[in-house]
Amino acid sequence: MKYYIIVGEASGDLHASNLVKAIKANDPSAEFRGWGGDKMKDEGVELVKHYKEVAYMGFSEVIKHLPTIFKNLKACKEDIIQYNPDVVIPVDYPGFNLRIAEFTHEQKIKTVYYISPQVWAWKEGRVKKIKKLVDRLMVILPFEKDFYKKHNMEVDFVGHPLLDVITDNDISTRSENIIAVLPGSREQEISKMLPLMLKMKKHFGEYEFHVAKAPSLNEDYYSQFLKEGIHLHTGSSYDLLKKAKAALVTSGTATLETALFKVPQVVCYKGSAISYNIAKKLVKINYISLVNLIMDKEVVTELIQSDFNEKRLKKELDAILNDSENTQAMLDNYSELRNKLGNSGASANAARLILSELQA
């Protein structure tokens, strides 16, 4: 069978690479082509374009790059036709992938969507579109199945793929003096987040601050931020989280990864004023971190926009470093979070469902 996979950012690359591995276990003759990253390439996917060339965040940034986005959409459609896959597997990345799904539906190409777009957060009307365009939708968050059922759409909850990657055995002995800093994966968000995050060094001088390097960026980019007591961690962010005492994390999948490694964290986010004001009017969720969304309560503090300032960040970091009762409550909630996410095996479950769909 021929599989065409489309990914738009780092976490999608990780989950898609594990999906590819699981598909190969069930279909040894499988061939793969698609848009993704280094992890997919390492699993044998023939890459058409790297996600770092197509990833844009925020409303104003997307508008600025519209000509490039339309050019990429056209190129992707042409490549799908030329490759003639048995199935197209979009992975999250809705702005791009739903347009591709519209195309594959018109072309009568089997389309199985892996990792639902976050339509429960905004643009709920997209559910009708998804229902019409995809042959099957696989979700990874426990509340998503009920959300789609409310819209008369049956979906498959496969479990969260991070549980295949992060196990309790991965939790190493903590360092007493390392604070992990995860400022995001794109230059535009790092430039907004990292300088303020690193101001904490002057308030917590006894700690070393280790900044997780994004795989898609060069080390040279980070040199402007590095000072005494601040280090660039160039390996896997997971290796950093295994030993960190606490973490400052830009909102995204990293918040969930940090929780699964049982690291106390403060979640931070600041976007452009235009993007933030538009999002504030459109987004219908109470929290921005996956940890709080899944638990449906404030487990970790979220410092958003104007709340993300030096005074508040110092206060919240101090709380997770020095308030043992506060920290223990967070860790207890992390354990409950893992239970809510279900068992491991998401990638294998998704692979079986894709193959059964192809054989239907």
The single-letter DSSP state of residue 89 is: E
What the block records as the tokens of 300 is 């970790």
How far is 213 from 187, CA to CA, in rounded Å?
11
Measured distance CA(218)–CA(207) in Å, rounded: 25
CATH architecture of 168-340: 3-Layer(aba) Sandwich (3.40)
Q: What is the pLDDT of residue 317?
A: 98
Complete DSSP assignment for 211-226: EEPPTTS-HHHHTTT-
Q: Where in the chain is the domain with CATH 3.40.50.2000?
A: 2-161+345-359, 168-340
CA distance 211 to 249: 10
Quote the DSSP letter at residue 111. Answer: B
What is the separation of C-alpha 144 from the centre of its chain, rounded to a whole number of angstroms?
A: 16
Q: Which residues of 100-120 are buried (b: 16+ CB within 10 A; e: fewer)?
A: bbebbbeeebbbbbbbbbbbb
Q: What angle do CA 267, 268, 269 make, to 5 degrees?
A: 135
**What SS3 state is found at 55?**
coil
Please give the pLDDT value at position 9: 86
Each residue's pLDDT, cut to its tens digit, for the chain (360 residues) gives: 999 999 998 889 999 999 999 999 999 999 999 999 999 999 999 999 998 777 655 545 556 556 777 899 999 999 999 999 999 999 999 889 999 999 999 999 999 999 998 888 777 778 999 999 999 999 999 899 999 999 999 999 999 999 988 977 666 667 789 999 999 988 888 999 999 999 999 999 999 999 999 987 899 999 999 988 899 999 999 999 999 999 999 988 899 999 999 999 999 998 766 555 555 555 666 898 999 999 999 999 999 999 999 999 999 999 999 999 999 999 999 999 999 998 889 999 999 999 999 987
DSSP reduced 3-state for 88? strand
Q: Which CATH number fits domain 2-161+345-359: 3.40.50.2000, 3.40.630.30, 3.30.70.60, 3.40.50.300?
A: 3.40.50.2000
pLDDT for residue 64? 59
